[in-house]
Amino acid sequence: MVVDKQKVEREAREVLDKFAKALEKVEKIHEVEGWVDREEFERIEGNGNNSNAEFKDKMLANAPKHDDDFIIAETGGWK
């Protein structure tokens, strides 16, 4: 299969330009970048007794290496 690189780049640019024009029409909520307005600045940390066992089981099952309680991974190794 032969791919015309210039055609693909041109089509991608058209899609991005169309999306950018559509975004210009969206009403801006806050002008300040990175500002989130909320009552509580930090979450309240719990003691860990109310953990969700189903979530834990799904996360451990998804990890390539794990034991009963922890994911075993090297930095940058789980991709």
> pLDDT, tens digit, for every residue of 22-50?
988 877 665 556 667 777 778 788 777 77
Rg (CA), the chain: 23
The string of pLDDT tens digits covering residues 46-72 is: 777 777 888 888 988 888 888 888 888
Sign of CA dihedral 66, 68, 61, 45: negative
The rounded distance, in Å, linking the Cα atoms of 57 and 16 is: 40
Please check the confidence at residue 12 and state whether its pLDDT lies above 90.
yes
> CB–CB of 71/65 below 8 Å?
yes
